[in-house]
Amino acid sequence: MSKKESHSTSHEEQFEIAIVGGGICGLILAIGLLKRNVKITIYEQSQSFREIGAGVAFTANAIQCMRLIHPGIVDALKTVATSNGNPDDPNDYLQFADGFNQKEDEESKIIFKLYAGYRGFEGCHRAHLLDELVKLVPDNVVRFCKRLDHYVDPGDEGKLKLYFEDGSTAEADAVIGCDGIKSKVRRILLGEENPASYPTYSHKSAFRALIPMDRAASALGDELARNQRMHLGPSAHLLHFPVAHQSLLNVVAFLDDSTERSYSSRLSEPGSKQEVVQAFASWGPTVRTITNLLDDEMDKWFIFDTNDHPAPKYASGRVCIAGDAAHAASPHHGAGAGIGVEDALALSRLLELVTESMEKGGRASKQEALTAAFAAFDAVRRERTQWFVGSSRMICNVYELNNAETGNDMDKIYEEIKWRSHKIWHFDIDGMLRQVEDQYKGKLDGDNIPKSML
């Protein structure tokens, strides 16, 4: 990690934000706030920054959000990102194939594809991206081994107090929970007895693996191995795309799982190649070839999300939640991290507006300004992000020919995937920024802040 000094301002109304959680969303938010001279401290429960899972991808729209947060984030992504196909002439399409009905003597055929924009699908390994983002965060703003137990809001102009499981405490003017799908901040904010405080099981499991590209290309051919492909079929689907500068093929196989699991269950466990091979035994030869490339032992992930019990609010007073802590989605749109980046941009702009309000010496107190900022975030971000959670569940059924509206009609499947993907990819970033500014300024009137936010 770099030894840069953290940004700060000497203004007497300076405020400090506690970011709980140091994953990709928390780090990107931290980088955005530091750039805007907002004082922050990151509280991470692990001994070091780490990311679980393997591949992650970002669309052109998400990358533009990164650029607006801090251009260095885009530079970090480009250092580790891998585009489809030839890096000098990237394939800017997401491609969908019928993985089930392929005959033995046929090549895997694309049934339709979607243009995602120039370099509109940048894949990378989560841990590699995290390593690059860490370089943009000063050492002196991070506290490791800090697992939040609870926080206390004094309800006046005083600071919030955070209590950690190791017995230590900290203070901050506001708290942002970026602590993921099992968010402790969400549980405190919504209440331990609220079903929305906990993720629920989607009854889908995902087997994740990384295959050396030379092995993949030898078995599948360069064109297929080095380009993203979604293989559709009955009650399962399989996705792959290149990562690590085309040196690895990231493979994810999605299967039904009828078992009941609670939020306190482990999110993953060791899985076996045999389980995947057996599940796809009746599929076409391309998918069977991919499953035979898998290692004997691999990770099996259980997919939880917040679809069944959406959070009724993302903020209360000077506490809010963002990213997976607010709206964890199943991964079937491949855009959950990008939606979290949108959150980080919205919060970066809102807290920049708070700084501007304090510097102008407006009538609102620091507490009122921070409360208004988080209320504006809730007002602007909740509808889109909760639509995304529901759409991520629904699109899985489309991929697996289980949706009543689309069935196995490939024309209908294409149209459903197209409009939902475009709603995610063609998001009006400038419009969101105007909305958060308008909402913030309106809520500074006081009467416009819902009582539930105070």
Q: How many CB atoms lie within 10 A of CB 46?
A: 13
208 is annotated as an active-site residue: yes
**Residue 174, phi then psi, degrees to nearest 5:** -155, 160
Q: Are 109 and 273 in contact (CB under 8 A)?
A: no
Q: Whose CA is closest to 120, among 86, 84, 148, 160? A: 84
Q: Whose CA is closest to 122, among 79, 156, 160? A: 79
Q: Which of 119, 126, 186, 208 is catalytic?
A: 208
Place of tokens 């391309």: 286
CA dihedral 68, 74, 76, 77 (to 10 degrees): 130
Q: Are 217 and 314 in contact (CB under 8 A)?
A: no
In single-letter form, the type of residue at position 149 comes to: D
What is the rounded distance in angstroms from the CA atom of residue 348 to the CA atom of residue 173?
16
**Which structure tokens are listed for 156?**
């006046």
Report how far apart, in Å, the C-alpha atoms of 366 and of each of 10, 16, 186, 200 are.
15, 11, 23, 37
Q: Are 95 and 228 in contact (CB under 8 A)?
A: yes
The beta-strand segments (E) located in 341-453 are: none
Residue 145, SS3 per DSSP: coil
Report how far apart, in Å, the C-alpha atoms of 168 and of each of 113, 149, 184, 320 are.
53, 10, 17, 22
Q: For helices 429-443 and 336-359, what crossing angle results, to 10°?
A: 40
The beta-strand segments (E) located in 22-181 are: 39-43, 55-58, 85-86, 89-90, 93-98, 110-115, 122-125, 142-143, 148-152, 160-164, 169-172, 174-177
Residue 40, SS3 per DSSP: strand
**Which structure tokens are listed for 203?**
């009854």
Catalytic residue numbers, as ranges: 208
